[in-house]
Amino acid sequence: MTAETLNAYWWLPLAGYLIGSAPFGFLIARLAGQRDIRAAGSGSIGATNVTRVAGSAAGALTLFFDASKGALSVWLAAWITGYSALWMIAAALGAIVGHVFPIWLGGRGGRGVATGWGTYLVICWPAAVAALGIWLVVVGISRYVSLGSMLATASLPILVYFLYAPGYPPGYAPPHSISIGTTLGAVLIIVMHRPNIARLVAGTESRISFRRTRANP
């Protein structure tokens, strides 16, 4: 990579961060009558907590917009750089970090699952679809959204490695930047699930439910 390339595109991860920081879950929950979604349920602004606290419609909207901001961040980088793998994964990581640590909410965001999934719809859609399948199977069997999210996230580096460029010999594709970035993103998302891991171990993690619950006053 040349210094000219760095100087031209250094702002793309920052743009990804700002796009990822858009607190859709927080805003949608407020429109649904919740004063601050971070004070209810798990405290996350992600789709799962919005669903539990504000209802399935609000949760579905949050899921759509959170995934869309991840996809938009990577698409923007791809369009500007001519599909540079390095800058696409850099924008993806920026979007995930932005969702997890949004500047607009003092760094208190979500777990990054939907936003991360949206980035891979652009980077490697077959891997994103396969990860969604894993999520559906795990959640369908266990009824634990967090467990499905973590297992699907953990599978992404492997899925991207084998599905990024089918037909090429293993080790040739994807580029190293994609493999490293995918692993870093997966680690961050799983680390953000520490409270869920503790509840799963203790047997107190909530199972999936689409019924609206009463929020804290």
pLDDT 10s digits, 82-96: 999 999 999 999 999
- The number of helices, as runs of H, and strands, as runs of E, in the chain is 11, 0
Sort 12 into a burial class: Cβ within 10 Å, 0-12 / 13-18 / 19+: buried
The yes-or-no verdict on residue 178 having pLDDT over 50 is yes
The alpha-helical segments, DSSP class H, found in the chain are 3-9, 11-20, 24-31, 47-54, 56-81, 85-100, 113-123, 125-142, 145-163, 176-191, 194-202
Rounded to two decimals, the pTM is 0.89
Q: Quick: pLDDT tens for 90-147.
A: 999 999 999 999 999 999 999 999 999 999 999 999 999 999 999 999 999 999 999 9
The rounded radius of gyration (Å) of the Cα atoms in the chain is 17
What one-letter code names the amino acid at 71? Answer: A
For residues 48 and 129, the answer to whether their CB atoms sit within 8 Å is no
State the residue for tokens 């692993």. Answer: 183
Place of tokens 């999936």: 208
Integer angstrom CA distances of residue 82 from 21, 79, 86, 93, 105: 25, 6, 11, 18, 33
**Amino acid letter, residue 206:** S
Q: Per the structure block, which two tokens stand in for 208?
A: 């999936």
The encoded tokens of residue 217 equal 């006053």
For residue 75, how far is the Cα from the chain centroid? 15
Distance between CA atoms of residues 157 and 143, nearest Å: 24
The residue assigned the tokens 């009463």 is 214
Give the three-class secondary structure for 170.
strand
pLDDT band at 172 (very low <50, low <70, confident <90, very high): low
Cβ atoms within 10 Å, residue 18: 18
List beta partners, residue 173: 170
Q: Where does the pLDDT of residue 167 fall: very low under 50, low under 70, confident under 90, or very high at 90 and above? A: low
Contact 86, 1 (CB under 8 A): yes
pLDDT at 212: 46
Mean pLDDT of 185-196: 96
How buried is 201 (Cβ within 10 angstroms: 0-12 exposed, 13-18 middle, 19+ buried)?
Answer: exposed
User: pLDDT value at position 36?
Assistant: 87
* CA pseudo-torsion sign 182, 187, 190, 193: negative
